Structures are given as C-alpha cells and as structure tokens.
Amino acid sequence: MINPRAVDRRSLLLVALILSVAWTSTAAGVQDLEQLSGKHIDIVTDLPLDQDRRAWPAVVDAAIPLWCQFWNVDPARLQTWRVTAYVMSAKEPFDRRGLIPPEVPDFPHGFQYGNRVFLLNQPSPYYTRHLLLHEVVHALAFHLFGSAGPPWFMEGTAEFLATHRWDGSALQIGIIPDRKESVPYWGRFRMLEQRRQRRSMISLLGVMRFNDMPDRYVEPYAWTWALMQMLMAYPEYQQLVVAAGPAAGGKEPLEFSRDFYQQLAPTTGVAQGRWRVLIDEFDYGYDMPRSRVELQPDDPLWNGTPYEHPIRADRGWQSVGRRFPAAATVQLRAEGETVVAHTTKPWVAYPEGITIRYFRGHPLGRLIGTWLPTSPGNELTVQPLEVFDVGRETKVTAPAEAWLLLRIAEDSASLGDNEGVLQLTISSAE
C-alpha cells in the first residue's frame, strides 16, 4: 500500500516543478500560447519551445544579480519584481488577442513598456536572447531609477549588459565577443568596420549626441555599446557610469548628457584619445585590458632632452609619457627583441618585424607609431589613426601638440602570447 502522505508530498513537488516551468496566466487569450516562468520573468510566445527557448527564464534570472552588481543595487530590492515578455514570430496574433497596448509603437525589433517587453524572434537564438536581455535591462532601469537616461546612455547600457555568453548553465555579461560565429546576426563590429572603411567614424562627442535612436537603425546601437565598453574599461569612467544610472531619474536627457560630459571635461582630451584608439581597431577578440591606453593630461611637455622608454610586446598602443609640441621633430631608435607567437618554436622579432604575417600592412612585430592630439576638438566624426612606420630608426614630426604612441604590429586579439620589450630612445632630430 502506498502511503497517502507520500503521495501528497510527491504531488506538491510535481505541482511546484510545473509552476517553475510554465506560467499559468489568467490573461484572456494567452492559454493557447506557450508560456514559461522564472523567478523574475513570465514569457508568452507563439514559438515552439526548443531547448534554447526553454532556457530564457533561467538566462534572465541569472542576469538579474549581475545587473544589480553593475549598478551596486542590493538584489533584495527585487525580491518581488517581475517582468512579462512577449516573444513573437509575428505581431498579428498578439495584437488580435489584445496583448500589445495601443501605446506601443510599431517596433521592428523590440520595445519596453513599463514592466512588459515585446520582441520579435530574430534570425539566431543568440540574437533573440540578446534582445530579450536588452529590453529587460530597460524595464529594470525604469523600475529602479524611474529613467534609463538619454538614448546614448540608455541603449549603451542595455547593449553592454545584454552582450553575453551563455553555456546552458552559466551567464557572462559585458563581454567582447571573441568570434563572429559565437554571436550570429549581432553585427555590431561589421557596422564599425563599414565606418572605418569610409574613414568617417563617430567621435565620442558624436555618440553622446545620439538623442534619437529609431529602432529601424541598428548602427547607433553599435556605437553606444562601444562607448560603454570603453567607459567600463577605465576605473575613473566606470565610477561615472555606475553613479549616473541612479541619477537618471532626476534629470532631463540633455541635462544628463551635459553633466556627464562636464565630469569628463578635466580629461576630455584623454577620453577622446582613448575612444579614438579603441574604435580604430575594435573587433572580435579585442583584448581590452591589454589595449587600454595610459594617458595623462598633465604629462610633461617634451623639451628636447633625450630619454628612453620601454615598449612592451604584449600591450597595444603605449604612450611614451610626454606631450610633444607642434612641429617638434623627433628621432626614434629601437633596440631589443620580442616573441610574437608560439608554435613549434617561438617567433622572435626585432624592431623591423618578420614577414610571416602582416598587421595593417606592417610586418608582424615591427615597431609602429601614431600621433594622438591632446586637444582633438569637437568634431562629430573622426578618421582612422595615421599610423607611421618606425622599425629600428626613424624621424617623425608632431602635426600638432600630441601624445606619441607606439606598439609592435600585432592584432589586439593576439597580444596575449607575446613576450619581451623594445627599448626606445627618443631624442631631438633638429
């Protein structure tokens, strides 16, 4: 004979398990749609539930604590917070059931409305999941702060927090995708590259002037995401971003942008310079920690006195620690050797580089340089960096007051296995 109490306990466990997977809605017209539920989200969809889609609630629930950490918010504040997501293959069935409020515009991708989000199924599972996270970020920001800031900040934050890596059980956010195949149809780097090819990239100030970002135009999302990646890469900017989120609810968009830019003002040249370095090369696998540029607005102005400076092989662009006056002609000499790859044996390179591979037309490992203006101005677009060849020795002239940056010729994604230092001597060529 079966113990009746054991049956009761098993029944309760079965009911709890069912409720953890399927949300039983009392809303009219959704009973014939697929429904999922998690701790913080209810999902209604007309799509068949494959393994990836069944994981949507788990992905959102895994993201909430990470987003709280980003904003320094106590997760206890969200114990009872929930959002409803409608994920559609087409809008018409949801419109017919009255599930899309008339106030929601005709969105081509996704839209957040209070504690409800609406999104169309995308061409890849990754991009649908990305869009779901993006819209839920908006809903959470409005719940916590009453606003998510102006479009450049709101969308940049949502893109940063939605760009992710999910292995079926663990979630990482704020990532830089390592390869195109891991984020099908995401396409942000393709948009940046198209601008590089046209030699008309958006400046830092230009991105912060994105006050209208229609959903039908995806390119601004690429630029705001890239800007948020840069801001979060440097501790001094990261503090501004984290503080700005909670402050968004009490400010008009233009006031918010003005205040944020004014906080950058003491180091505007540094921020604009770092931005220009980032977008000049930003692509899959970009190694942000190794590619951060150390610049100081009060770096001493070079007076012609010779000095030496090391250039590390495992870092991207590196400042030589001086500002150079306009028209200053500088003699550069480099000595030493580096390791630029490890195969069956290390690939050793001297300042001239090796012709096994090339980076931007320069032999792998060759010493190259660029000038970065200390006062870049207020243009809304910028051109790619003008890179010049250094090798073992060269003379260069500063086009305006500028920082001198050098590196070995190597893609950012491949810096991790490099070794060695080139010793650079800087002296006057006059």
pLDDT of residue 74 exceeding 50: yes
377 confidence band (pLDDT: 50, 70, 90): confident
pLDDT score, position 11: 37
| Fold adopted by 290-428 | Jelly Rolls (2.60.120)
The answer to whether 248 and 235 are in contact (CB under 8 A) is no
pLDDT score, position 216: 55
DSSP 85-151: EEEES-SHHHHHTT-S-TTS---SSEEEETTEEEEEPPSSHHHHHHHHHHHHHHHHHHHHHS---SH
pLDDT score, position 12: 30
- Looking at residues 137-150, what average pLDDT do you find? 93
Domain positions in the chain are 4-269, 290-428
Between the alpha carbon of residue 257 and those of residues 159, 202, 270, 412, the distances in Å are: 18, 17, 18, 31
The answer to whether 160 and 154 are in contact (CB under 8 A) is no
pLDDT score, position 19: 35
pLDDT score, position 8: 37
Parallel/antiparallel/unpaired status of strands 41-45 and 83-88: parallel
> What residue type is assigned to position 242 of the chain?
V
pLDDT of residue 9 exceeding 50: no
Mean pLDDT of the chain: 90
> Which long-range contacts (C-beta less than 8 Å, at least 24 apart) are formed by 384-387?
384/196, 384/199, 384/201, 384/280, 385/276, 385/277, 385/280, 387/360, 387/362
Q: Cα–Cα distance between 72 and 75 in angstroms, integer?
A: 9
pLDDT score, position 27: 47
pLDDT of residue 20 exceeding 70: no
pLDDT score, position 239: 93
pLDDT score, position 250: 81
Look at domain 4-269 and name its CATH class: mainly alpha
**Percent of the chain predicted with pLDDT > 90:** 81
- Those residues whose C-beta lies under 8 Å from the C-beta of residue 313, and which sit 6 or more positions away, are 338, 339, 340, 365, 408, 410, 415, 418, 419, 420, 421, 422
The answer to whether 292 and 233 are in contact (CB under 8 A) is yes
Between 96 and 20, residue with greater pLDDT = 96
- Looking at residues 205-209, what average pLDDT do you find? 92
User: What's the token pair of residue 133?
Assistant: 């996270």
pLDDT score, position 213: 64
174 confidence band (pLDDT: 50, 70, 90): very high
16 confidence band (pLDDT: 50, 70, 90): very low
Statement: the pTM of the whole predicted model exceeds 0.85: yes
For 66-75, 196-205, 206-215, 388-397, which range has the lowest pLDDT when averaged over its residues?
A: 206-215
The answer to whether 245 and 141 are in contact (CB under 8 A) is yes
- Looking at residues 93-104, what average pLDDT do you find? 95
pLDDT score, position 117: 98
pLDDT score, position 264: 86
E-assigned strand segments in 239-328 = 307-312, 318-324
pLDDT score, position 214: 58
pLDDT of residue 158 exceeding 90: yes
The pLDDT tens digits for 242-276 are: 999 888 888 888 899 999 988 887 788 899 999 99
The answer to whether 228 and 156 are in contact (CB under 8 A) is yes
pLDDT score, position 125: 97
- Looking at residues 319-327, what average pLDDT do you find? 97
pLDDT score, position 378: 83
Q: Cα–Cα distance between 51 and 58 in angstroms, integer?
A: 12
29 confidence band (pLDDT: 50, 70, 90): low
pLDDT of residue 384 exceeding 50: yes
